[in-house]
Amino acid sequence: MFFVLSKVFWFLASPVNLAIGGLALASLLAFTRFARPARWLGLFCAAVLVALAFSPLSRILVRPLEDRFPQQAVDSGRVDGIIVLGGAIGVAREDIVLNNAAARMTKAVELARAHPQAKLVFTGGGANLLSPVVRTEADGARLLFLALGLPESRLVLEDKSRNTIENAIFTRQLVDPKPGERWLLVTSAWHMPRAMGVFRQAGFAVEAFPVDFLSSGERADFFRPYRKAARGLDIADDAFKEWVGLVAYYLAGYTDALFPGPLAAGSR
Predicted confidence (pLDDT) per residue in 83-92, tens digit: 999 999 999 9
Reply yes or no on whether the pLDDT at 266 is more than 80. Answer: no
Residue 117 to residue 108: CA distance in whole angstroms = 14
Read off the pLDDT of each residue in 34-46 and give the average, rounded to a whole number: 96
Residue 171 to residue 193: CA distance in whole angstroms = 18
Element (H, E) at 98: strand 95-98
Of 193, 172, 153, 163, give the one whose Cα is nearest residue 66.
193
Query: What are 100-154's pLDDT values in tens digits?
Result: 999 999 999 999 999 999 999 999 997 665 556 679 999 999 999 999 999 999 9
pLDDT-based confidence at residue 251 (cuts at 50, 70, 90): very high
pLDDT score of 229: 95
Q: Strand 89-92 and strand 95-98: pairing?
A: antiparallel
Q: Is 35 exposed, middle or buried (0-12, 13-18, 19+ CB in 10 A)?
A: exposed
pLDDT score of 2: 66
Across the chain, mean pLDDT equals 93
pLDDT score of 13: 77
Read off the pLDDT of each residue in 72-77 and give the average, rounded to a whole number: 90
Helix axis angle, 57-67 to 35-54, nearest 10°: 50
pLDDT score of 132: 66
pLDDT-based confidence at residue 5 (cuts at 50, 70, 90): confident
Dihedral sign for Cα atoms in the order 188, 190, 196, 199: negative
pLDDT score of 1: 65
Largest CA distance in the chain: 71
Read off the pLDDT of each residue in 157-184 and give the average, rounded to a whole number: 96
Read off the pLDDT of each residue in 50-78 and give the average, rounded to a whole number: 95
Q: pTM above 0.85?
A: yes
Read off the pLDDT of each residue in 163-187 and give the average, rounded to a whole number: 97
pLDDT score of 202: 96
For residues 67 and 242, is the Cβ–Cβ distance under 8 A? no
The larger pLDDT score, comparing residue 10 to residue 150, is at: 150
For residues 30 and 39, is the Cβ–Cβ distance under 8 A? yes
pLDDT score of 12: 73
